[in-house]
Amino acid sequence: QQQVKQSPQSLIVQKGGISIINCAYENTAFDYFPWYQQFPGKGPALLIAIRPDVSEKKEGRFTISFNKSAKQFSLHIMDSQPGDSATYFCAALGGGGSYIPTFGRGTSLIVHP
Amino acid sequence: ETGVTQSPTHLIKTRGQQVTLRCSSQSGHNTVSWYQQALGQGPQFIFQYYREEENGRGNFPPRFSGLQFPNYSSELNVNALELDDSALYLCASSPQVNTGELFFGEGSRLTVL
């Protein structure tokens, strides 16, 4: 049972473009939604995270948009750069005393120069 | 500040063998979690240790076991290895138990032949 559905599986963007990755969750008890960035041969690194009391959070070129009623959240990468090429994972956790994250299957992003 | 370190980085085993993977948590972090990441998939939660006790377990059989030591370092042991156990095993430490902040190591790549 996949509780967090992530799309697209892969994404190709030109340098300077906007990359958008979407996630949908099922468990309404989730209350923390992080995004992780993983480069080949490395472990995932926390990129940005949001709680459901806000609809948007921005850190530099990275923005999370959160739609609680639709149970969806997305990552927007503005002015995408070749160095952003990596695999991105969304996750959801919290609620009911459990802080074990459920990860999406990942999106492989390639930014062409 | 030293990050999460894992060893070994790569190893090859044969079916039926046993393996031990090691993890040193980030300084000041008292919680360690282990994840299995198959190729092209998101990390799957194996278990979490807090203050040397197991504090949650994912959908993995008992042949996956672990330990946490007084210095918060940890081991993952897998007995009776199967071909499907081939994966990247990630260790993540957290500054406290109920937080979504995970700091991952670079992983141990296990190949079972």
- Identify the pLDDT of residue A67: 95
Measured in angstroms, the CA of A27 and the nearest CA of chain B are apart by 16
- Identify the pLDDT of residue A29: 87
- Identify the pLDDT of residue A97: 61
Q: Give the up-direction half-sphere exposure of residue A15: CA atoms within 13 A in the CB hemisphere.
A: 5
Instruction: Please list every residue in chain A whose beta carbon sits closer than 8 Å to the beta carbon of residue B92.
Output: 43
Using one digit for the tens of pLDDT, what is the confidence trace for A61-96? Answer: 999 999 999 999 999 999 999 999 999 999 998 876
CA distances for A113 relative to A14, A18, A37, A59, A80, angstroms: 6, 14, 20, 23, 10
For chain A positions 51-110, those within 8 Å of chain B (CB to CB) are: 89, 91, 93-94, 97-106
Check if the beta carbon of residue B68 is closer than 8 Å to that of residue B13: no
Q: Give the up-direction half-sphere exposure of residue B36: CA atoms within 13 A in the CB hemisphere.
A: 19
Using one digit for the tens of pLDDT, what is the confidence trace for A14-44? Answer: 999 999 999 999 988 898 999 999 999 889 9
Beta strands B10-13; B5-7: pairing state: unpaired
Using one digit for the tens of pLDDT, what is the confidence trace for B12-71? Answer: 999 999 999 999 999 889 999 999 999 888 999 999 999 899 988 999 999 999 999 998
Check if the beta carbon of residue A23 is closer than 8 Å to that of residue A9: no
- Identify the pLDDT of residue A96: 66
- Tell me what the mean pLDDT of segment A50-62 comes to: 94
Angle at the Cα of A85 (from A79 to A87), degrees rounded to 5?
120
Find the length of chain A.
113
Phi/psi region, residue B71 (left: phi>0; alpha: psi -120 to 50; beta: rest), is alpha
Which residue has better confidence, A31 or A8?
A8
Token couple for A74? 């997305």
- Identify the pLDDT of residue A84: 98
Measured in angstroms, the CA of B42 and the nearest CA of chain A are apart by 4
CA A67, CA A44: separation in Å to the nearest integer?
Answer: 25
Check if the beta carbon of residue B90 is closer than 8 Å to that of residue A44: yes
Residue contact B104–A98, C-beta within 8 A: no
Residue contact A32–B100, C-beta within 8 A: yes
Neighbours of B112 (CB within 10 A): 19
Burial class (CB in 10 A: 0-12, 13-18, 19+), A103: buried
Whether omega before A101 lies within 30 degrees of 0, making that bond cis, reads no
- Identify the pLDDT of residue A12: 98
Check if the beta carbon of residue B97 is closer than 8 Å to that of residue B32: no
- Identify the pLDDT of residue B95: 87
- Confirm or reject contact between A49 and chain B (CB < 8 A): yes
- Identify the pLDDT of residue A2: 58
Using one digit for the tens of pLDDT, what is the confidence trace for B58-109? Answer: 999 999 999 999 989 999 999 999 999 999 999 999 987 777 789 999 999 9
